[in-house]
Structure 1
Amino acid sequence: MSPLIHLNSHFSFSLSLSCNFNYKPFTPSKNLNFSRLLIRATGTIPETSPDITPATEEPPSIWFAFVSSVLLPDGTPDVHRRSACGGQKLRDIMLDSNIDLYGPYAQPLSNCAGGGTCATCMVEVIEGKELLNPRTDKEMEKLKRKPKNWRLACQTTVGNPDSRGLVVIQQLPEWKAHEWSYEK
């Protein structure tokens, strides 16, 4: 007996057995010898349509490096790298990417949910200031005694849909307990 397994590109298979039963009922648990098992992969490569041309260029996106306010156990900054399409609020990008934005202010009713009135979404822009919109009136009011590179994530729009570049963000700058420098 020589069993044959056919695998296709969808990871389903069929088992073919060729043997003579000669009056004995076939029971796979006793008669199947896996040491002589032959496996043959079958499938086809899908043909491409002449109407579809492969994309040779990546769509525009902005790369982000979000630096946590606490260090890792080895003493290095905890950096999370993400990418997103431009034209979005920085707050939305951070929340959609599961980046800690509010830290100790994350409890319900502790922040204004993007209204620009509480200043709990403050971030420090280390690199990529040229990709951000100018400070809004709400930011000027809330951040008047803060450094010029501090922004409210809920008021900051990053680029436009066809922008490309890198933005480095220090999360929770008022809680930062270390000094570091960004190196490309």
Structure 2
Amino acid sequence: MGVLQLNYPCLSSPTLPSNLCYNTKTHKCLTFTNHLNFSKGRIRAVETISGRESEAISLEAEKVEAAEMEEEEGEEEPPSIDFAFVSPVLLPDGSPDIHYRSACGGQKLRDVMLDSNIDLYGPYARALLNCGGGGTCGTCLVEVVAGKELLSPRTDKEKEALKKKPKTWRLACQTKVGKEDTRGQVVIQRMPEWKAHEWDK
């Protein structure tokens, strides 16, 4: 336990003043609520800690820090799906132009793309040139390069609209991506009918 020393030369029997505040939980804080002015100076409080008490305090601080780190590690990120949207036009150096986004599952692919500011419709982006998600115009075509297991099966509207298209092509407005707790990665080729390269299957 700490030793309290009162360094004041004219006090013959040192006693603690009533306005001294001592924090008994941490054993670290000794303060006066106001300064006591005497004729020759002020009372000073000095705290000394033994070696064992110092070790105990440092061990306690380490335990608190370790507990805080465990709490931070225990907090997991909410489930999400990582998307890579590939542009149909290559960059000047010939590499693909890829935009990365993350979104929670359970949404339509069209909504994910529009909410993430990914160009879905290209030249059909104006109001009267697409059906706005009804599944009748076929202008929201995408190609699923990877992650098709995370997507819902083709709907009847897709089967009708994509009869002569490759099986990897989907209508973004009809395609639901995973569930709310799904994690994974999906690679989507935008506007596959105008893409400048072929994917290796």
Same fold (TM over 0.5): yes
Q: Is 1:109–2:156 an aligned residue pair?
A: no
Retained in 2: the 8 A contact 1:77–1:180?
Answer: no
Give ranges in structure 1 of 5+ residues lacking alignment.
1-49
| More helix, by proportion | 2
Secondary structure at 1:140 match in 2 = helix
Cα distance in structure 2, aligned partners of 1:122 and 1:57: 35
Q: Deviations over 1:24-81 (max 9, x none)?
A: xxxxxxxxxxxxxxxxxxxxxxxxxx9xx64521110000000000001111100000
Q: Is 1:143–2:162 an aligned residue pair?
A: yes
One-letter identity of the residue aligned with 1:128:
G
Query: What does 1:90-129 correspond to in 2, within 5 Å?
Result: 90-129=109-148
Q: Is 1:132–2:151 an aligned residue pair?
A: yes
Cα distance in structure 1, aligned partners of 2:99 and 2:198: 17
One-letter identity of the residue aligned with 2:137:
C
Q: Which has the larger radius of gyration?
A: 2
Cα distance in structure 2, aligned partners of 1:79 and 1:116: 26
Q: Is 1:70–2:82 an aligned residue pair?
A: no
Match 2:80 to one of 61, 77, 84: 61
Match 1:79 to one of 98, 106, 118: 98
* TM-aligned CA deviation for residue 107 of structure 1: 1.6
Q: TM-score, normalised by structure 2?
A: 0.63
Secondary structure at 2:182 match in 1 = coil
One-letter identity of the residue aligned with 1:91:
R
Q: Find the counterpart in structure 1 of residue 185 from structure 2.
A: 166
* TM-aligned CA deviation for residue 104 of structure 1: 1.1
Cα distance in structure 1, aligned partners of 2:148 and 2:98: 18
One-letter identity of the residue aligned with 1:137:
D
* TM-aligned CA deviation for residue 179 of structure 1: 2.7
Aligned length: 131
Retained in 2: the 8 A contact 1:89–1:154?
Answer: yes
Q: TM-score, normalised by structure 1?
A: 0.68
* TM-aligned CA deviation for residue 174 of structure 1: 0.4
One-letter identity of the residue aligned with 1:97:
S
Retained in 2: the 8 A contact 1:63–1:81?
Answer: yes
Give ranges in structure 2 of 5+ residues lacking alignment.
1-67
Cα distance in structure 2, aligned partners of 1:179 and 1:150: 13
Cα distance in structure 2, aligned partners of 1:171 and 1:156: 14
Cα distance in structure 2, aligned partners of 1:76 and 1:65: 14
One-letter identity of the residue aligned with 1:160:
K
Q: Find the counterpart in structure 2 of residue 22 from structure 1.
A: none
Cα distance in structure 2, aligned partners of 1:180 and 1:139: 22
